[in-house]
Structures are given as C-alpha cells and as structure tokens.
Amino acid sequence: MRLKNKVAIITGGGSGIGRATCQLFAEQGARVVVADINQKGGKETVALVEKAGSKAVLVKADVSQEDQVKRLIKRAVQAFGKLDILVNNAAAFVFGRVEDATLEDWNRVLGTNVLGPALCVKHAVPEMKKAGGGAIVTIGSISSFIAQPDYVPYNTSKSALINMTRCLAMDLAPFKIRANVVCPGVIRTPTLQRIIEERRMTPEEIQREWGNYHLLKRLGEPREIAQAVLFLASDEASFVTGTHLMVDGGYTAH
C-alpha cells in the first residue's frame, strides 16, 4: 500500500481523471475527500472508493470560491484528522479564439483553473505543515506547453500552473511540502466524450485529429493519469518537486 494512513483531497473527484485518482488512491490505502460541484458524480465516486475498501467523504465545493475552499479543508480535517495530499484536478473547459472569449469566459477559466488551485493550496498548507509535510499534485495538460487552434483561454490557464508549481515548490520546500504537475495527453473522459458528441466525430476522425498525434497512436485512459498522480503524491517521489511529468503518449515529444 503506497498511501497507507494518508489523507487526500481530490478536486473534481466526481468524474474522469479525478474519479480514477480517487479509486487508485483508495486501493493504495488513502482516505479520500472527494471535492466537486457535481453532487451526483461525487456520490458515485464515494461508492467506488468504498468498494475499493477505503473511506471517503464528499464535500460540495467550487474551487474558485474561497469560502467554499476553506470549508472543504475544514471538513477534510474534521472527517479524517489531518491532510497529507492535495490533487488540484477540477477544471473549466473554456475554448475559443481571443476575439470570441468574453470577460465571463476568462473569469470562469482563470477562476477555476488558476485561482482554484492557488486557493486550495493556500488553505491546505497550514494543515500540511501540522502533518509535518505534504504533496501537492496539480493536473496540467499538453495544453500547458503547446499552441492549439481556438484554445486561447484554456491553454493560458494550463500554462500558468507550471510556473505556479515551481514557485510553490520553492516556498514550501522548507516545510517538506512538494509540488508537481502531471500533464496528460488526450484522455478518454466524460468531458472528451461530450466534445466528441458535440462535434459528431467518427472514430476515424478521433484517431486522425487526436490519436495519431500521440507517438503511441491512441488516446489515454484516466487510470494511466492516476498512476502518475499516485507516484508524485507518494513517498516514492520524495526527491521530486517543482517539476512536471508528461503523461501524453509522446504527444509533445515531436
């Protein structure tokens, strides 16, 4: 068990990569706090964690709202007595060209994807200090590094997480708190499924537009991302901080 006796908060734990991370963490002995705005998805994840033999609580929290983040951290410590791991996974998917993005779009994407992780870290750190250390894993993307057509708001938000993490790693190292980013390629999650349905993409189009860009010539699965999050959250990564791990099937290698 790689996370025995650990307590982890996973934001956006009610779906996709967040859910797979909750499940894998539970299998590895962690007690899990599922934080999401989606109650239904969150409840399903709690049931999956319990099925995996661990304990979970669901906290309804919008990571862009500081009062809700404060409450989330408080509830986690009330439920399980401490906090060791924070996974910043929740995201808003706001795409488009700069001419089309509204002020509301920018506030939503930066509020959820940049301010959200910053607020979660801010309020988690005092608890991690009490616990004698901790691990923060934030979900970036291939979009943290590359340009993609009509992706300005999302990619701006995802690139900010890389340097936020380096700065966090520097400031938090004295307290034995590590901070790292996992950058997925294109992963089969409910959000991707929604995009596929909206664009009415055929399997051939999915392969041509996304699959073929990965050296491994396929999309990734949520659990393949969760495995990387597990490594960085665990003591096996005790000398890893301030960096990012591409889990992108080679998408950004060429």
Ligand X SMILES: NC(=O)c1ccc[n+]([C@@H]2O[C@H](COP(=O)([O-])OP(=O)(O)OC[C@H]3O[C@@H](n4cnc5c(N)ncnc54)[C@H](O)[C@@H]3O)[C@@H](O)[C@H]2O)c1
Active site residues: 154
User: What whole-number distance in Å separates Cα of residue 36 and Cα of residue 116?
Assistant: 12
Binding marks (x or -) toward ligand X, 86..115, rule CB under 6 A? Answer: ---xxxx-------------------x---
Should residue 62 be labelled a site residue for ligand X when binding is judged by CB under 6 A? Answer: yes
User: What whole-number distance in Å separates Cα of residue 210 and Cα of residue 230?
Assistant: 26
Binds ligand X by CB under 6 A, chosen from 23, 64, 155, 156: 64
Binds ligand X by CB under 6 A, chosen from 8, 15, 27, 211: 15
Q: How far is CA 60 from CA 21, 126, 132, 232, in A?
A: 18, 21, 27, 26
Q: CB 220: neighbour CB atoms within 10 A?
A: 21
Should residue 186 be labelled a site residue for ligand X when binding is judged by CB under 6 A? Answer: yes
Question: 133 or 159: whose CB is closer to ligand X?
Answer: 159
Binds ligand X by CB under 6 A, chosen from 187, 226, 228, 247: 187
Should residue 207 be labelled a site residue for ligand X when binding is judged by CB under 6 A? Answer: no
Amino acid, res. 82: K
Question: 43 or 176: whose CB is closer to ligand X?
Answer: 43
Q: How far is CA 80 from the centre of its chain?
A: 21
Closest approach, Cβ 36 to ligand X, in A, equals 5
Should residue 237 be labelled a site residue for ligand X when binding is judged by CB under 6 A? Answer: no
Residue number of the CB atom closest to ligand X: 16
Should residue 17 be labelled a site residue for ligand X when binding is judged by CB under 6 A? Answer: yes
Should residue 206 be labelled a site residue for ligand X when binding is judged by CB under 6 A? Answer: no
Should residue 141 be labelled a site residue for ligand X when binding is judged by CB under 6 A? Answer: yes
Q: Quick one: which segment of 34-42, 48-56, 71-79, 125-133 binds ligand X (CB under 6 A)?
A: 34-42
Should residue 14 be labelled a site residue for ligand X when binding is judged by CB under 6 A? Answer: yes
Closest approach, Cβ 89 to ligand X, in A, equals 5
User: What whole-number distance in Å separates Cα of residue 132 and Cα of residue 174?
Assistant: 11
Closest approach, Cβ 103 to ligand X, in A, equals 17
Q: Which residues bind ligand X (CB under 6 A)?
A: 11-12, 14-18, 36-38, 41, 61-64, 89-92, 112, 116, 139, 141, 184, 186-187, 189-192
